[in-house]
Structure 1
Amino acid sequence: MLAIIGGSGFYQMENFAVVERRDVDTPYGKPSAPLTVVECHGQQVFFLPRHGDAHTLLPSDINYRANIWALKQAGARQVIAVSASGSLREALRPGDFVVPSQYFDHTKGTRARTFFGDGLVGHISTAHPVCPELSSALATACRDCGHTVHENSTYACVEGPRLGTRCESFFLRDSVKADIVGMTNVPEVFLALEAQLCYATLALVTDYDCWMDDPTHHVTVDIVIQRFSESISRARDVVSRLLAAPPPVNEEHRQSASKAILTPSAVRKQQHEILLKTLLV
């Protein structure tokens, strides 16, 4: 089953038939909002607004572990993360879609970023963090809908909630060689790997961050919300097109956590086994 995590301004799946809303709990607390089950092309899909139903959660306040756990426990096996992003390349224009293949973590270490710990040691491989089949299907759906899409790009995740300085924008653009910048896809993408979920980002470019010389191109909240709101319907169209012919589940990603655990079963605690029962299913 596929799940959609909605970003800024993407709080509901309009024009999709709502089947039910599930108020769920997890070992890590409540997810950002109840899970909504919607139907499209005869398929049921989970939807979860990342910032809450009314955008009440800062990027660093999002309970990423609870969100991913809730989706995995409910039966999701593939996750599309819809996100607003700033462009660090002139060729990636506001209104374009980006399906990144790499992520740079420029957060500050305050976010709970792993399901491992407390006596359970695991080291997930993140060399190839996204599902190639799901990413390719997203890009194809964008093109089929007539939208410009960029692939094989790098998403830099910053802490927020403030917007970046010009120095930071140049650093991410010129030193990191990132292509887009956002505040939410880390640790989400890596937690999805630990939960053996196939993950891909559908990023919508809303602005040029602040590396351009012309200050009228510098990012503001008004610009982000306006441009993302204008393009939400296009994002829904892309998701709908993908659901008409969903890609197969990538079996390598469905085994990512099982290859990462170092702690022998003989010394694992009962809570470790409960955790792994959900992560490894």
Structure 2
Amino acid sequence: MIAVIGGSGMKQLPGLEVTHRQMMRTPYGEPSSPLIFGTINGHEVVFLSRHGHGHTIAPHMVNYRANIWALCTLKVRCVIAVASVGGIRANLTPGTIIIPDQIIDYTYNRRFTYFEDTDRQVVHTDFTQPYCTDTRTRLLESARQAGEKIFDGGVYAATQGPRLETIAEINRLERDGADMVGMTGMPEAILARELGLSYATIATVANYAAGRGDSQDSIPLQAVFATLEKSMVNVRNILNHLVKNDVH
């Protein structure tokens, strides 16, 4: 079974034939929303809305540990995280879809690990490649089959939010090597790695980052929402092909 975590722009998964909904409890509290189980073309899929019903949970308030733990208990084959980002790199224009391969964490005060018990030996998780190579490859191949243009690779800068960044902050991120900026990439990715889940992100560029493109003075939020709505059609097309290719 494939798990999809929906972010801004994907509050539900169109095309999913829902069989049931389940609210799960974990040692870390309740996930952001009920898990929605169903099928796409006869293949089992579970969907979780990262920001909750009605998009009411801010990025820094998401219970990432509960979300990932709940999916792990279901023994899903892979987790696809859908995210919206701001484009820093010049060719990452609004509407672009990209599969990042690296991440830089600028978040703080988030519950970022499962290894907190002082009576256990310290665990150092290998995070050299933060996204599952096999799952990334499957996403790229699904995009090719779907006829969707997609960028392979890029550095995701995970910022705290919920505010957007200043031009100076984006300039700093660019100097650090970031290609895009978002608010939910961490600690979601490392928590998935700690539990041994195959995890990858499919990101849609919702807007130019501050100081880039037409975002010299401000970011046009209405245009952002329109771009997300349009690009999510392409994302769903890719996900449908990924599910179709899933081997039971």
Q: TM-score range by the shorter chain?
A: over 0.9
Q: Map Cα deviations across residues 76-112 of structure 1 (whole Å, 9 max, x no partner).
A: 23100000011111111211111011010011x2110
- Match of residue 54 from structure 2: 54
Residue 149 (structure 1) aligned with residue 135 (structure 2): no
Quickly say closer, same or farther: Cα 1:215–1:124, change in 2 above 3 A: closer
SS of the residue 2:219 aligns to: coil
SS of the residue 2:39 aligns to: strand
8 Å CA contact 1:59–1:161 kept in 2: the answer is yes
* Cα displacement (A) at 1:75: 2.1
Give the unaligned 5+ runs of structure 2: none
8 Å CA contact 1:97–1:142 kept in 2: the answer is no
- Match of residue 115 from structure 2: 116
* Cα displacement (A) at 1:211: 2.6
Q: How do 1:1-281 residues align onto structure 2 when only pairs under 5 Å count? A: 1-107=1-107, 109-119=108-118, 120=120, 121-173=122-174, 175-212=175-212, 214-215=214-215, 218-246=218-246
SS of the residue 2:18 aligns to: strand
- Which is further off, 181-190 or 6-15? 6-15
Distance in 1 between the 2:213 and 2:223 partners? 17
Q: Map Cα deviations across residues 179-224 of structure 1 (whole Å, 9 max, x no partner).
A: 1110001000000000100000000011111132644685343233
Give the TM-score of the pair, scaled to structure 1: 0.83
Distance in 1 between the 2:96 and 2:213 partners? 21
Q: Which amino acid in the other structure matches residue 151 of structure 2? A: H
8 Å CA contact 2:210–2:216 kept in 1: the answer is no
What do you get for the CA RMSD once the two structures are aligned? 1.6
Quickly say closer, same or farther: Cα 1:213–1:246, change in 2 above 3 A: closer
* Cα displacement (A) at 1:15: 1.9
Structure having the higher Rg: 1
- Which is further off, 224-233 or 56-65? 224-233
Q: Percent identity among equivalent residues?
A: 38
Distance in 1 between the 2:170 and 2:14 partners? 34
Distance in 2 between the 1:126 and 1:22 partners? 31
Q: Map Cα deviations across residues 230-271 of structure 1 (whole Å, 9 max, x no partner).
A: 2222211110011111279xxxxxxxxxxxxxxxxxxxxxxx
Quickly say closer, same or farther: Cα 1:217–1:18, change in 2 above 3 A: farther
Distance in 2 between the 1:216 and 1:11 partners? 29
Give the TM-score of the pair, scaled to structure 2: 0.94
Give the unaligned 5+ runs of structure 1: 249-281
8 Å CA contact 1:208–1:217 kept in 2: the answer is no
Distance in 2 between the 1:207 and 1:247 partners? 35
- Match of residue 266 from structure 1: none
Write 1 or 2 for the structure with the bigger share of helix: 1
SS of the residue 1:185 aligns to: coil
Distance in 2 between the 1:41 and 1:201 partners? 22
Q: Which amino acid in the other structure matches residue 40 of structure 1? A: I
Distance in 1 between the 2:214 and 2:236 partners? 32
8 Å CA contact 2:208–2:215 kept in 1: the answer is no
